[in-house]
Amino acid sequence: MSHSMHGFHLHAADTAPGDEQADGREVAEGLRGYLIGLGLATLITVVAFFISQTSLVWQPSIPIALFVLAIAQMGVHLVFFLHITTGPDNTNNVLALAFGVLIVFLLIVGTTWIMYHMNHNMMPMERIMEMQR
């Protein structure tokens, strides 16, 4: 049943790479991609956990290092696990991702920036309590 339908799809107009059954070479290639992704992600994670606990480096640099490592690991996941690539059938995915990143950036940076300045401009809590007495 599934094989006859499959044969039909092979000749249909909407067949693209990935629709047909994978052979041994494709399986090996796919596995290699996931293994590279797993290796890189593990490496970055181990480094991040190590750096967060170490006293070997200048302490204020640690949050920045953690940020950079997190963004690098997200990149690894996007490329090797979610297969967001620069291929021609991926243009829309990349554009949607770029828009998503823009919104996330505006939301997080905008919120923390505004709230930080509001905290600065606010009267200290003790003064407010005094005025309410």
Contact residues toward other proteins (CB under 8 A) are: 1-2, 5-6, 9, 13-16, 18-19, 21-23, 26-27, 30-31, 33-35, 37-38, 41-42, 45, 48-49, 52-53, 62-63, 66-67, 69-70, 73-74, 77-78, 81-82, 87-89, 91-93, 96-97, 99-100, 103-104, 107-108, 110-112, 115
- Nearer to other proteins by Cβ, of 119 and 132: the residue is 119
CB atoms within 10 A of CB 20: 13
- Nearer to other proteins by Cβ, of 81 and 127: the residue is 81
Task: Give the C-alpha separation, 105 to 113, whole Å.
Answer: 12
Q: Minimum distance from CB of 8 to other proteins (Å)?
A: 10
Kindly report each contact of residues 70-75 with a partner whose C-beta sits within 8 Å and lies 24 or more positions away, as own/partner: 72/44, 73/40, 73/41, 73/44, 73/45, 73/48
- Nearer to other proteins by Cβ, of 5 and 129: the residue is 5
Task: Give the C-alpha separation, 80 to 129, whole Å.
Answer: 55
Q: Minimum distance from CB of 124 to other proteins (Å)?
A: 15
Task: Give the C-alpha separation, 15 to 9, whole Å.
Answer: 6
Share in percent of the chain as helix, strand, coil (round to 5): 75, 0, 25
Q: Minimum distance from CB of 95 to other proteins (Å)?
A: 9
